[in-house]
Amino acid sequence: MQLLTNRSKIVVKKQMNFWEKIYLPAILGGLAITIKHLFRKQTTISYPEQKRAFSATYRGEHVLKRDENGAERCTACGLCAVSCPAEAITMVAAERKPGEEKMYREEKYASVYEINMLRCIFCGYCEEACPKEAIFLTDRKVPSLFERNEFIYGKDKLVEPVEKSKRVDVSKRQTQEVAEFKKHTEYAHNH
């Protein structure tokens, strides 16, 4: 066989001996590897029975928070939608009507707030951009679904319940600096 360097290389077709022809050493070698793996520690978990511990910084499903009085915090400023690199957030702003003071914190609110979870990359930029601390990423996993339209999360899935006992705890998502800042009531929003 002639190579590019004008040096020839002789290729020899080696004849197999009897043991190589019956493949017994190769089979025994494969069995030895398999048996060795049987006694190793398992790296997989049995999911429904065992659940893997998540990191404290895990970002899962979104939630739109309510204030202490049960009113929605979101004022439809649009900063979360602008900061989203995947353009997964859409909203429509509306004016609060007389008698809806307990439902919405300010005059302007999001009448439509949708997150396309198929586009969301769970970066947390919406959480950082929100000046009213209205949107947070929780430690809940997004469920597996079969239809694409089920991944469009509207206000029915995003806004937390009015009852204080059923609200989502997001204190783990806040850094120590934010917790210290919140202790100063003179800097609080809407006071």
Question: Does residue 30 form part of some domain?
Answer: no
In a domain, 75, yes or no: yes
Confidence class for position 33, pLDDT limits 50, 70, 90? very high
Quote the pLDDT of residue 103: 86
Q: Looking at the domain assignment, is residue 27 inside a domain?
A: no
Mean pLDDT for the chain overall? 87
Residue 170 domain-assigned (yes or no): yes
- Examine the pLDDT at 119 and tell me if it is beyond 60: yes
**pLDDT-wise least confident of 35-39, 43-47, 127-131:** 43-47
Q: Domain range for residue 125?
A: 62-190
pLDDT range class, residue 169, cuts 50, 70, 90: confident
Residue 51 belongs to a domain: no
> Is 136 a domain residue?
yes
Residues 44-101 have pLDDT tens digits of: 888 889 888 888 788 999 999 998 888 899 999 999 999 999 999 999 999 988 888 8
pLDDT of residue 58: 87
- Total domain count for the chain? 1
* Mean pLDDT in residue range 129-157: 91
Per-residue model confidence (pLDDT) at position 2: 54
Tokens of 37: 């793996």
The structure tokens listed for 42 are: 């398992």
pLDDT of residue 185 exceeding 80: no
pLDDT at 191 over 60: no
Q: What whole-number percentage of the chain has pLDDT above 70?
A: 93
pLDDT, tens only, 100-109: 888 888 889 9
Over residues 163-189, mean pLDDT: 76
pLDDT at 189: 58
CATH number at residue 165: 3.30.70.3270
Does some domain include residue 127?
Answer: yes
Q: Is residue 26 part of a domain?
A: no
